[in-house]
Amino acid sequence: MLMLIKEPELLDLKAPGIERIVPEKVRQKIQAIKHKGERSRSRAAWLALLFLIRDRYGIAAEDLDITEDEFGKPYCTGHPSINFSISHCEGLAACVTDGGKVGLDVEKIRPFDMRVAERVCSCEELEGIIRSKDPSMSFFRYWALKESCIKAFGRLPCDSVKKISFGTGPENTECSLKNTEFLVFEEPGGFIVSVCRLTAI
């Protein structure tokens, strides 16, 4: 189940209990965020997660214990069937829950640096970006697909981001890594949303 929150920067969210359930490192990161908008986006994503878990699994926030594994991926202690991922960018916060391993990334489509694309994209992906009618959208589509995949695994599952590669074309989500499936779409307002689910691990 996926939840998107538009313009979370405009929300003044006070979250009873959220400081208790999030991992210590996450709490510290949220508290250390100086930019009010970014802090609001992070808080909104965690609140959305609490709502989804309560709605889908009937578990209240005060009954959750969220910690991190050895790679820093958060999970619900004592609830192995609850898998989740959160993400946020300027103008959008999001979370997803699933019965299997899942990763989520949201990106605001914006100008990009081709040197960054050359570091993270395969030759075929670079060709697709260059030929695209909207290179920025194409690049951030690949970026979001790769990020959601890494987050689903909880770590980089190979020795290079380039090796997480995808076919060219706006509808192609076939990944070079086995046992992965993707949902990717363009959200109105200039966003790319990608969800990766592991079908086996």
More confidently predicted of 118 and 27: 118
pLDDT at res. 51: 86
Q: What CA–CA distance (Å, rounded) separates 192 from 143?
A: 9
CB contact at 8 A, 103 and 85:
yes
Q: Which amino acid is at 44?
A: A
pLDDT tens, residue by residue, 102-149: 999 999 999 999 999 999 999 999 999 999 999 999 999 999 999 999
What pTM does this model have? 0.89
Topology adopted by domain 2-99: Ribosomal Protein L22; Chain A (3.90.470)
Sheet holding 180-187, edge to edge: 102-108, 191-198, 180-187
pLDDT tens, residue by residue, 43-55: 888 888 888 998 9
pLDDT at res. 168: 75
Q: Is 12's pLDDT higher than 60?
A: no
Q: What is the CATH number of domain 105-198?
A: 3.90.470.20
Residues of each domain in the chain carrying CATH 3.90.470.20: 2-99, 105-198
